[in-house]
Amino acid sequence: MDVALTPLEFARRTRRLYPEREALVDEDLRLTYAQFFDRCDRWSSALQGMGIGQGDRVASIAPNTHAQLESFYAVPQLGAVVVPINYRLTPDDFAYIINHSGTKIVCAHSDSLEAVDGIRDQLPQVTHFVAFEGVPRDGWVDYESVLAGSGPSFDRPRIEETDLISINYTSGTTARPKGVMITHRNAAMNVVGTLIHLPIRVEERYLWTLPMFHANGWTYTWIVTAAGATHVCLRKVEPARVFELIRQQGVTWLCAAPTVLIALANAPTEARGAVPRGIHVVTAGAAPAAATIERMEGELGWEVTQVYGLTETSPFITICEPRPEHDKLTPEDRATIKARQGVELLTSGELTVHDEAGSDVPWDGETIGEIVVRGNAVMKGYFEDPEATEKVMGDGWFHTGDAAVVHPDGYVEIRDRMKDVIISGGENISSVEVEGTLLRHPAVQEVAVVGLPHERWGEAPYAFVVLKDGAQCSQEDLIGFSRDRLAHFKAPHGVTFVEELPRTATGKVQKFVLRGKAPNLTRQ
């Protein structure tokens, strides 16, 4: 009677109940769930014919297309492991990940075929190269031709919930990326927990503004299907296109990192067009500023929910769950709470904030510690890297590296990465708090605050600012603005205006790059 916890079980239910409902829209292509799963089965059959068996790895390098989504079903139902690779990485990164994961088949979108061709001689373990889209090239198998020539039957192995469903590689900003091993149980528990807290109804439509490669699209590759809702593919995030698809396709849900929210909130009126209200937005990946949330809800009329997690935690471990008392707050105060990471999901396991001695910090909203977690959400470990696994999980807790406080109501709020907390004159300064304040200035579009060496204070905050198009502002304006709203020691000691912030391939700001570009600070 035991049935493994796996997203494939949710797919079985949807296939049975909703065969004629629309599963997917990808530009001009529309598929019902019966058609979608038939394609998945044909791809599974073809992969089995190519020698893929239980435990083997199949990599994909592609934007959000129907073929990319099909991989998240066709590969795991063979008992094989999907390796979704960030298509924004370099060919050298592709080679490292493909070889490190032991991938046997590489699938790529037309945009990446040339890059993969350039590293073929570095991939001795790969047996087949599959082109999801594009003009057929020498040495590549055409995906659609393979599906057309395959039957839907294949041998289905028994899958245990502790088996791997995916290996997701981290960004690797300062070292080689690590392969996060996610099990069928990890993924299934995240699907269930997310749907409990953020229920999607069968008639709703989800827009793929988040890359599917990023932590399995925050597991929405399986969540949307489990609900019997519709996937609306988006290959490139451009604000005008996002608003257009929301109108055309009746989109009701989307996920987005804060950088995407900023782009949508600041899109010009002509790019927005008529904006439907009531869109549900799930945001994570970095702490969004309260000002951004306030704009999304106040100007667009969208409902923004902050969640928190990491690739290593499947990914969600907290949600900023709304409470009735929040409705009585001003929009500004409500947005401040919504910018917090919140409380545990019912299914994610135990989360707490530890001080340096390993004890829980008091719930005072002031004492900073590290977020640690244990439970169903935590990865199996890093692939072929026991030393790194032991480092973050050796004491029975997964150490996130995120510095946070716990408020009296139990809501966790990230103040920084542990390594990014600024210690100035013995006082802890949260760069996130300073960034959130500066983002309330009407001229500021994006900001990153780092700590720089200071001969008097040891460290002092310094800001890098991207201004809105056509806006003008001086360093003195922004320093004065922050001093009016923060304790003076938290205000930046200097500002550099930049056209853009350096980011990782998954959109996170590379603060170590900014530190290298900042000037020396003198006594102030």
Does 520 have pLDDT greater than 90? Answer: no
Amino acid at 76: P
Q: Hey, what CATH topology would domain 237-418 get?
A: Rossmann fold (3.40.50)
State the average pLDDT over residues 401-410: 94
What is residue 277's predicted lDDT score, i.e. its pLDDT? 96
How far from 321 is each of 83, 238, 333, 342, 398, CA to CA, in Å? 32, 29, 15, 6, 23
Encode pLDDT of 101-113 as tens digits. 999 999 999 999 9
Tens digit of each residue's pLDDT (9 = 90 or more) over 115-147: 999 999 999 999 999 999 987 789 999 999 999
407 three-class SS: coil
On whether the CB atoms of residues 283 and 259 are closer than 8 A, the answer is no
Architecture per CATH, 33-180: 3-Layer(aba) Sandwich (3.40)
**Cβ contact 517:495 at 8 Å:** no
Cα–Cα distance measured from residue 122 to residue 284, given in angstroms and rounded to the nearest whole number: 35
Does residue 371 contact residue 404 with C-beta atoms inside 8 Å? Answer: yes
The percent of residues in the chain predicted with pLDDT above 70, rounded, is: 97
Same fold: 237-418 with 421-517? no
Give the CA distances from residue 372 to residues 110, 170, 201, in Å, rounded to whole numbers and listed in that order: 41, 19, 32
User: Mean pLDDT in the chain?
Assistant: 93
> Looking only at Cα atoms, what is the longest distance across the chain?
73
CA–CA gap between residue 248 and residue 265 (Å, rounded) = 20
SS3 per-residue string spanning 190-252: HHHHHHHHCCCCCCCEEECCCCCCCHHHHCHHHHHHHHCCEEECCCCCCHHHHHHHHHHHCCC
Cα separation, 483 vs 157, whole angstroms: 63
Calculate mean pLDDT across residues 10-35. 98
Tell me the Cα Rg of the chain.
Answer: 23
Beta strand spans in 18-112 (E): 22-26, 29-32, 57-61, 81-85, 103-108
Q: C-alpha angle 211/213/218, rounded to 5°? A: 70
What local confidence, expressed as pLDDT, does residue 467 receive? 95
CA distance 293 to 264: 11
What are the angstrom distances between the C-alpha of 285 and each of 214, 218, 259? Answer: 10, 10, 9
d(CA 399, CA 419): 13
Query: Omega into 91 within 30° of 0, i.e. cis?
Result: no
Q: Hey, CA dihedral for 13, 15, 19, 22, is it positive or negative?
A: positive
Residue 175 has a pLDDT of 67
Cβ–Cβ under 8 Å, residues 225 and 8: no
Closest by Cα among 282, 208, 295 to 251: 208
Do 207 and 254 meet the contact criterion of CB atoms below 8 Å apart?
A: yes
Q: Of the ranges 64-68, 191-195, 415-419, 483-487, which one carries the lowest mean pLDDT score?
A: 415-419
Is the pLDDT assigned to residue 173 strictly greater than 60?
no
Dihedral sign of CA atoms 64, 172, 507, 418 in order: positive
Residue 489 has pLDDT above 90, yes or no: no
pLDDT at 27: 97
> What is the spatial distance between Cα 169 and Cα 99, in angstroms, rounded to a whole number?
12
Region label for 314, one of left (φ > 0), alpha (ψ between -120 and 50) or beta (otherwise): left
Among 3.60.15.10, 3.40.1010.20, 2.70.98.40, 3.30.300.30, name the CATH number for the domain at 421-517.
Answer: 3.30.300.30
- Is residue 443 within 8 Å of 472, Cβ to Cβ? yes
Query: 71-102 burial, b for 16+ CB within 10 Å, e for fewer?
Result: bbbbbbbbbbbbbbbbbbbeeebbbbbbebbb
Other beta carbons within 10 Å of 236? 9
Whether residue 495 is predicted with pLDDT greater than 90 in this model: the reply is yes
Q: For 297-354, write each residue's pLDDT tens digit.
A: 999 999 999 999 999 999 999 999 999 999 999 988 998 899 899 999 999 999 999 9
Tell me, what's the pLDDT at 326?
93
Q: Which residues pair with 214 in a beta bridge?
A: none
pLDDT-above-90 percentage for the chain: 78
Identify residue 100 by its one-letter amino acid code.
H
Give the pLDDT score at 442. 94
Q: Which residue has the higher pLDDT, 406 or 437?
A: 406
Concatenated DSSP letters for 120-161?
A: GGG-TT--EEEESSSS--TT-EEHHHHHHT--S--PPPP--T
pLDDT value at position 521? Answer: 64
pLDDT at 259: 80
Measured CA distances, 444 to 193, 402, 462, 471, 502 (Å): 36, 26, 15, 8, 17
H-helix or E-strand spanning residue 374: strand 369-374
Q: Which of 21-25, 159-163, 185-189, 258-262 has the lowest mean pLDDT?
A: 258-262
C-alpha–C-alpha distance, residues 342 and 304, integer Å:
13
Residue 54 has pLDDT above 90, yes or no: yes
What does the pLDDT average to over 472-491?
91
Quickly state the pLDDT bin for 172 (edges 50, 70, 90).
low
Distance of alpha carbon 177 from alpha carbon 182, whole angstroms: 15
Task: Give me the pLDDT at residue 498, please.
Answer: 94
Residue 430's pLDDT band, with cuts at 50, 70 and 90, is: confident
pLDDT recorded at residue 523: 46
How confident is residue 462, by pLDDT bands cut at 50, 70 and 90?
very high
Q: Where are the domains of the chain?
A: 33-180, 237-418, 421-517
